[in-house]
Amino acid sequence: MAIKIVLIAAVVLVALVLAGGHGARRLALRRLGLAAFAAVAVVSILLPDTLTWVAQKVDVGRGTDLLLYALIVVFFSYLSTRYVRDRRTLRQVTALARRVALIEAPAPRPVIGLGHSGADGVDNAVCEDGVERNDGGDGPA
Amino acid sequence: MSRVEFDDLWVVVPTYNEGRVLGQTLTELVAVFPHVCVVDDASLDNSVEIAESFFDQGVRVVAQPINLGQGAALQTGFEYALSDPLMGRLVTFDADGQHLVADAVRLARRLRDGFDVVLGSRFLGAAPQMGRLKGLVLKIAVAYTNLSTGVRLTDTHNGLRALGRTAVAAMKLTQSGMAHASEIVERIKSESLRYTEEGVEIRYSDYSRSKGQSLLNAVNIVVDLLVR
C-alpha cells in the first residue's frame, strides 16, 4: 500500500516539475532532483542494504523491485519530456525548412511588364502602362 | 473559363513522390489557372523536374529541403501565395489527380458569394465511390471533428478547398501530418470564418487507390485526431 502512495507522489512530482515553471525555476528543480538522485545512488552503493530496508518500509519485498519501480517512473518522465522537446524541435525545423524553401523559390509573378500574365486580359493595361513608363524613364538615363 | 478570371488565384498543390501523375494534374490545372504553386515535400522521384517544366505556364515550385508532411507543405504554399500581393483567392488541390479542375473552378467562384472558405465534400452531390469501411472511417472522422469544433460539415478530409485571402492568412497550420484537415476546420471556427461546402467528385483511380487512399491512411487520420 505504501508503495502506491510513494509511486503516485513520484509521478505527481515529476508531472509538476515538467509542467510548472520555466527557465531558472525549472532548472533549479531539475538540479535539486539530480542532487537527490546522486545522494540516493551513493548511499545505495555504499550501503546496499538500505535499499532493501527502504523497500520493506514501503511494503515492497526487495530493493531491486523498488529500483525497478523507480526506473519505470523515471523512464516515463523521460519519455514525456522527450516528447515535448521533440515537438518543439519539429516546429523549429519546420519553420526553418519553410524559410529555406520560400527563400529559394522563384518569384510568384513575373516582374510587371514582363512575362506571360501581361499577355492576356485585365492586367494587360496596367502592364503595358508600366512598360511604357519604364521605357520612357530609362531612355534618357 | 479563362485564365484571366483567375489571375488573383493561386492553386496550391502539395506533392510527395507523385511524379507519375503530377504532369497530368498540372496540364489540366494550367489550362484554367494561371498561377499554380507546387510545394514539393522533398520527393525522392522526379516530381520537382516535372513541375519545373511547367514554369512557362505559371507553375512555381517551392521545394522543401526535408520531408515535413502534407500539413506543413500546405502552410508553405499558403505563405508563398501570401507573398503575392495580388493573391485574393487560393485553392488547395491534391497532386494525385483525384480532383476535377471543374470542381476547383466552382469552389473558387463560390467564394464570390461572400464566403471565406469553400470546402469540397465527397458526401454532397454525386454518390462517392469508395469502400464501405473507408466511408465509415471518414464519417467517424467527420463526426469527431464536428463534435470537437462545433461546425457542421459533411466531409472534413477533402483535399479540395477554396480560401479567400483573409482565410489563408488566418490558417497558420502547425499540424504536420494529416491532422491539418481538422486543424483547418478548427481555424474556421476560431477565426469565425464564413464557410460553406460544395459537392465535388473524386476520381478514385487505380493509382490513387494504390497510394494514399488505403484504409491504413484512414486509421492514421483517426489516430491523428485523437492523439494531439
In a domain, residue B2? The reply is no
Separation CA B153–CA B117 (nearest Å)? 12
Q: Which of A94, A101, A122 lies closest to B62 in CB terms?
A: A101
CA distance B102 to B28: 10
Residue B128: DSSP 8-state = P
Work out how many domains chain B is built from and give that number: 1
* Residue A108: closest C-alpha in chain B: B84
Look up residue B49 and give its three cell numbers.
523536374
Cell of A96: 526553418
Which of 111-140 (A) contact B at CB < 8 A?
116-117, 120-123
Q: Is residue B145 part of a domain?
A: yes
- State percent of chain A over pLDDT 90: 13
- Asked whether residue B173 is assigned to any structural domain, the reply reads yes
Q: Does residue A104 have a pLDDT over 60?
A: yes
Which residue in B10, B62, B66 is closest to A105 by CB distance? Answer: B62
Beta carbons of A116 and B64 less than 8 Å apart: no
**Is pLDDT larger for residue A115 or for residue B117?**
B117
d(CA B71, CA B178): 6
Nearest CA in chain A to B36: A108
In a domain, residue B130? The reply is: yes
Residue B147 sits in a domain whose CATH number is: 3.90.550.10
**Residues of chain B neighbouring A88 (CB-CB closer than 8 A):** none
> What's the grid cell of residue B92?
488547395
Q: Is residue B1, in this structure, part of any structural domain at all?
A: no
Q: What is the DSSP letter of B56?
A: G
Contact A108 B84 (CB under 8 A): yes
Q: Residue B126 domain-assigned?
A: yes
Q: Which residue from B174, B116, B186 is spatially nearest to B146, judged by alpha carbons?
A: B186
Residues 6+ apart with CB under 8 A from B138: B122, B130, B155, B157, B218, B221
Per-residue pLDDT of B83-128, as tens digits, reads: 999 999 999 999 998 999 999 999 999 999 999 999 999 888 665 5
Which residues on chain A are in Cβ contact (under 8 Å) with B66? 93, 97
Chain A contact set for B34 (CB, 8 A): 116-117
Whether residue B180 lies inside any domain: the answer is yes
pLDDT in tens, B56-93: 999 999 999 999 999 999 999 999 999 999 999 999 99
Which of chain B's residues have a Cβ under 8 Å away from the Cβ of A104? 62-63
Distance from CA of B116 to the nearest CA of A (A): 22
Which of A101, A106, A121 comes nearest B76 by C-beta? Answer: A101
Edge-first strand order for the sheet with B195-199 is B59-63, B36-40, B9-15, B89-92, B161-164, B117-121, B195-199
Mind listing the pLDDT tens digit for each residue in A49-103?
Answer: 888 888 888 888 888 888 888 888 889 888 888 888 888 899 999 999 999 999 9
Answer for the pair A33, A17: CB distance below 8 angstroms, yes or no.
yes
Given CB atoms, is B35 within the 8 Å cutoff of chain A?
A: yes
Could you say which of A98, A104, A117 has the minimum Cβ distance to residue B34?
Answer: A117
- What share of chain B in percent tops pLDDT 70? 85
The whole-number average pLDDT for the span A37-45 is: 82
Residue with cell 510545394: B39
- B150-206 pLDDT, tens digit each: 788 888 788 999 999 999 999 999 876 657 888 898 899 899 999 999 999 888 766
- CA of B80, closest CA in chain A: separation in Å? 7
Q: Which residues of B touch A106 (CB under 8 A)?
A: 55, 60-61
B211 alpha-carbon distance from chain centroid: 16
Q: Which residue of A has its CA nearest to B175?
A: A91
For A54, the grid coordinates are: 527502504
Query: Residue B100: how many CB atoms within 10 A of its CB?
Result: 17
Question: Looking at the predicted structure, is the pLDDT value of residue B211 above 80?
Answer: no
Confidence at residue A2, expressed as pLDDT on a 0 to 100 scale: 75
On whether residue B218 sits in a domain, the answer given is yes
Q: What is the ipTM of this complex?
A: 0.83
Task: Tell me the chain B residues in contact with residue A98 when contact means C-beta distances shorter than 8 Å.
Answer: 64, 68, 72, 75-76, 79
b/e per residue, B208-226, with b = 16+ CB within 10 A?
A: beebbbeeeebeebeebbe
